[in-house]
Structure 1
Amino acid sequence: MTTSARVCEAMPMPAQFTFADLFAGIGGFHAALTALGGKCTYAVEIDDAAAKVYERNWHMNPLGDITKHTNDVTAHIPPVDVLCAGFPCQPFSKSGAQRGMDEARGTLFFHIMEVVRAHHPQVLILENVRNLAGPRHRHEWDVIIKQLRAEHYRVADTPAILSPHQLPPERGGRPQVRERVFITATYDPTGVLPNHPEPVFTSKQVIDSFDPHTWNIADILLDDDHVGGCELSRDEISWIDAWDNWVASYRSLNPGVRLPGFPIWVDHWRTEDDLRDMINAGQCDDVPAWKMNFLKKNAALFTANEEMCRSWMAAHDVNSFPPSRRKLEWQAGLTPSLWDALIQLRPSGVRVKPPTYVPALVAITQTSIVGPKRRRLAPRETARLQGLPDWFDFGPQGSPATYKQLGNGVNIGAVWNVIIEHCRRDEAILATTESGRAILACIEDAPPSPDQRLLPH
């Protein structure tokens, strides 16, 4: 059976509402809304590689430029019941310059508003990084809410925030921390409901009494320990081995003592007496308070374990490591070994976490290393972390492109739960319109998880 045939069979629900997929990427929104019973009548994505993957799986070519299409919305974009958009996050992301709407990409929200003004879709679901709701972007957030309310949309004052690791597996959850802001709004020109609703999800919300710490990353891993392109280099293995030896040595010297929770900085290892002399000589006058705190903790650590630390540095030639590999961020609790944990080789250091859930997938490097597998997460595993089924086909492109697209993508389980909870919250409005009733019919028939609709038959 071909991939295309499997895709068609995986979507058995007859379409009952239409949707537009703006900034479509490889189709995370498309997967969730089609599984829910929607039909995509317009999609747009400016990146050629992502557009090819989208077309390969959803049989629509979304390649285009929303900034040009909104010059004449009615000529390019049809009316739809639901509009979804994961508009570019770089202007708001902590990994970017955080210039918000002062940056050209930040103004892409206003192109979404051109579509909204022209067609007034019944439901909007917009997605962006968690930082959009942070204090640095309060102005941008207020602009977005003001614009939507000016067009008679019911939208919360505070954002919905959801991470797939908060969701139990039976609701489409995945072992990935990926907090995202969802702006959900319902067109309500007659004012059926008050226009200050609560957000449908909140950060740290406990869902169905599920404890995210019960996740096990092994649940989404391939059986194969050897996946091409995911191997660790000799240097990477030596860095991990070295820190694994340090952890074992520290525990041996300090039985019953938890590993330090602060960043361990080899380059700042000195005795407390030496640090005190530096402070008295004025050599630390320009050091910010947060860093001074870490310097004092590292000095205390080194003083208490000096012989072991010096011996360890010599045995592993630690001074030859890159600066970022001379730092350890242990966040793995009682996990026995680095090779039992999840590892990220970050600019800030070697970060180690328990083998429960992974940090957010990102569009750049830092793909998590799975200690028990002694390799990085495979592209198929990262696709699973975003909720994509195994029939999803990335074609002949290389792994770096796939990692980038998944790092830029939206989690399917999160979208599924957000739109369902939103429509239940605003049911009184949706029940008054034909398009709203079509959406509600799909919501009523929906299983708890999109996985049941995305499996091949």
Structure 2
Amino acid sequence: MADYISAKELSSIWGITPTRITVMCSNGQLDGATKIKGRWMIPTNIVRPDDKRKRNIEEDSNANFRFIDLFAGIGGFHQAMRFLGGECVMAAEINQACVDTYNLNFKTLEGGVRGDVKKIDPTTISRFDVLCAGFPCQPFSKAGLQQGFNDKTRGNLFYSIMNILDAHPECKFVVLENVRNLADKSENWEIIRTELLKRDFVITQKPLILSPSDFGIPQIRERVYILGIKKDGCSAEIQDKGYIEPADLNIDKYRKKCKIGDALTLLEENVSEDYRISDEQNLMIQAWDEFRLGTGIKIIGFPIWINCFGVGIQNTDNLKSSLGYDDMPDWKKRFVDKNREFYLKHKNFIDPWIERYDMFNRIKLYQKFEWNCGEDVQNMHDGIIQIRQSGIRVKRTTYFPSLVAIVNTPIIWDNQMNAYRYITPREAANLQKFDQRYKFSGTDKQIYRQLGNSVNVRILKILCKGLFELRLKNDVRIENTEIDD
């Protein structure tokens, strides 16, 4: 009977992870492998199968490093990696509209952008140095069910990334991005941390939570970044402490605060009239501007909800009963109380205002208003407006609210047009720091959605420059060490 060795022992001989050895056993790729007491054991005389991983980039390629772009979207990672001197050997994205945009801007190897990551055989991917993945955020997002890794579809896509790493022990860096909520549950972070440590990556001490506004880019958009470097390629200091700190990445020198007016610096001139808001939207903004001036709103710590005014109801207890007040959470009760008090104080202005603009026959989102500018903004023209399910919201021009995948496009006053308009796709791309030469495919609605799902290119440039410079071995070089604003 042949002698056997464990998957762990064989992995050290072949230089690949034990997990990859186990997968090869399960797939029948290792002749004679058998389970003994629940563990895979492999004959000591096993012959290593041919390495089928393609190598489409020649050894004399001018690329400083090679990367793969998983859940690629429209290429935010790709732009950052290319800026630093990288060459893409494989991209994967399942959304066809995103693929069309990606193909407009990048030429990828291996027959173009691939589809479902779960269906990609890791051994058909070229060797690479960096794995980039903005893996699906829905399992962790507030907009979804927040099932995390319990999500049997999207949540498990994280393990597809791990399968690829198992087949590619040559990978030196991982760069992952996800929504802010991923960091809210310690079990999510623990799974990610444990799986990457198993594969000999030293990673960030905790998820890095960063927003473009941290770096002078006028957009509030917190995202989680998880960075890793192969243990054998980093300094003894980092190996000893076992994690990467923000200071190791040298990102503080890029930090910059935003100030009022910065958001307007990214706007374009001579914008098409197509981006004007509708007549009804314009009328409702006008109505609430009149309301703000007529009631003297300057600083107010609650949203205005017309349905909580109690117009025509004399008894406040009757109003509360009609609203189901007793079953409301405390925060909502406070808002109801404040709206009723506000209405009774300004009733002589509000009643004719409601009739003049026929507010009770408007859709509910037009019946709500939030003024988040304090005394810093004197005129609605000088704020940033969003029409949301929570109502018409006005914010300072310090930064734009987060671009999101659902279409919720910010509105600004255009002095040239002398009208309110939506920000354009190009302006949304400016917020994500996409190259000015970047081309888009599809309708505006699709483009806004694509940009809302994308990563911020400048943040990735900053983070990856710091990460790559941690590698001591001279086998990954970077270009463009100066990152412009």
Please tell me the TM-score bracket, short chain as reference.
0.7 to 0.9
Aligned to 1:5: none
Helix, strand or coil at the partner of 1:292 = helix
The residue aligned with 1:239 is 284
Partners of 2:259 and 2:195 lie apart in 1 by: 39
CA distance in 1, matches of 2:322, 2:85: 70
Mapped partners of 2:101, 2:443: distance in 1: 12
Amino acid at match of 2:67: F
Q: Return the match for 2:267 from 215, 221, 227.
A: 221
Q: Residues 209, 363 of structure 1: CA spacing in aligned structure 2 closer, same or farther, 3 A cutoff?
A: closer
Distance in 1, matches of 2:349 and 2:80, equals 53
CA distance in 1, matches of 2:206, 2:316: 46
- C-alpha change, 1:150 and 1:182, in structure 2 (3 Å) is same
Alignment of 1:21-100 (within 5 A): 21-60=69-108, 61-69=112-120, 72-74=121-123, 76-100=124-148
Maintained 8 Å contact 1:175/1:215: no
3-state SS in 1 of match to 2:155 = helix
* Whole-angstrom distance in 2 between the partners of 1:198 and 1:306: 59
Please list, as runs of the form range in 1=range in 2, the aligned pairs for 1:4-403 lying within 5 A after superposition: 15-60=63-108, 61-69=112-120, 72-74=121-123, 76-103=124-151, 104-120=153-169, 121-134=171-184, 137-168=185-216, 174-189=217-232, 192=236, 193-200=239-246, 210-214=256-260, 216-228=262-274, 230-251=275-296, 258-270=298-310, 274-276=315-317, 284-334=325-375, 335-372=377-414, 374-395=420-441, 397-403=442-448
Measure, in 2, the Cα distance between the counterparts of 1:265 and 1:281.
15
- Counterpart residue type for residue 131 of structure 1: N
Q: What letter matches 1:377 in structure 2?
A: I
Tell me which amino acid in the other structure corresponds to 2:329. P
Return the alpha-carbon distance in structure 1 between the equivalents of residues 255 and 74 of structure 2.
32
| Whole-angstrom CA distance in 1 between matches of 2:252 and 2:348 | 46
CA distance in 1, matches of 2:141, 2:73: 17
Higher relative contact order (CA 8 A, sep 6+): 1
In the alignment, is the contact (CA less than 8 A) between 1:89 and 1:128 conserved in 2?
yes
Aligned to 1:8: none
**CA 198–273 in structure 1, closer or farther in 2 if over 3 Å, else same:** farther
Letter in 2 for 1:260: I
Please list every run of 5 or more consecutive structure 1 residues that lacks an aligned counterpart in the other structure.
1-12, 169-173, 252-256, 452-457
Bigger-Rg structure (1/2): 2
Q: Secondary structure at the match of 2:154?
A: helix
- Conserved in 1, the CA contact under 8 Å of 2:84 and 2:465? no
Larger displacement relative to structure 2 (122-131 or 214-223)? 214-223
Shift of 1:20: 0.8
Letter in 2 for 1:101: F
Identity %: 33
Whole-Å separation in 1 of the counterparts to 2:260 and 2:319: 46
Q: In angstroms, what is the RMSD of aligned CA positions? A: 2.5
Letter aligned with residue 401 of structure 2:
P
CA distance in 1, matches of 2:255, 2:438: 31
1:24 & 1:279 partners in 2: Cα distance?
A: 50
More helix by share: 1
Question: What SS does structure 2 have at the residue aligned with 1:105?
Answer: coil
- Per the TM alignment, residue 261 of structure 1 is displaced from its structure 2 partner at its CA by 2.5
Note if contact 2:260-2:397 (Cα within 8 Å) is conserved in structure 1.
no
Query: Measured at CA, do residues 112 and 209 of structure 1 come closer, stay the same or move farther in structure 2, by a change above 3 Å?
Result: closer
Q: Are the structure 2 counterparts of residues 225 and 16 from structure 1 closer, same or farther at C-alpha, using a change threshold of 3 Å?
A: closer
Deviation at 1:41, TM superposition (A): 1.1
| Superposed structure 1 runs of 4+ greater than 4 Å apart | 205-209, 276-283
Task: Tell me if the contact between 2:260 and 2:396 (Cα under 8 Å) persists in the aligned partners.
Answer: no
Listed as ranges, the gaps of 5+ residues in structure 2 are 1-60
Amino acid at match of 1:314: E
Higher mean Cα deviation, 217-226 or 144-153?
217-226
Per-residue deviation at 1:38?
0.8
For residue 225 of structure 1, report the CA deviation from its aligned partner: 4.3
| Pairs within 5 Å for 1:425-436 | 427=470, 430-431=471-472, 433-435=473-475
**CA distance 1:363–1:165, change in 2 (3 Å):** same
C-alpha distance in structure 1 between counterparts of 2:198 and 2:241, whole Å: 11
Supply the AA of the counterpart residue of 1:217: A
Q: State the shift of 1:209 in Å.
A: 6.4
Per the normalisation by structure 2, the TM-score is: 0.79
Alpha-carbon spacing, 1:350–1:201, altered in 2? closer, same or farther (3 Å): farther
Q: What's the CA shift string for 1:239-290, capped at 9, x where partnerless?
A: 1111011111122xxxxx6331211101101389833565699953212111
- In the alignment, which residue of structure 2 is the partner of 1:9? none
Offset, 1:387: 0.8
Partners of 1:277 and 1:306 in 2: CA distance: 18
SS of residue in 1 equivalent to 2:407 = coil
Alpha carbons of 1:269 and 1:280: their partners in 2 closer, same or farther (altered >3 Å)?
Answer: closer
Matched position secondary structure for 1:351 = strand
- Shift in Å at residue 139 of structure 1? 1.6
Quick check: 2:387–2:408 contact (8 Å CA) kept in 1?
A: yes
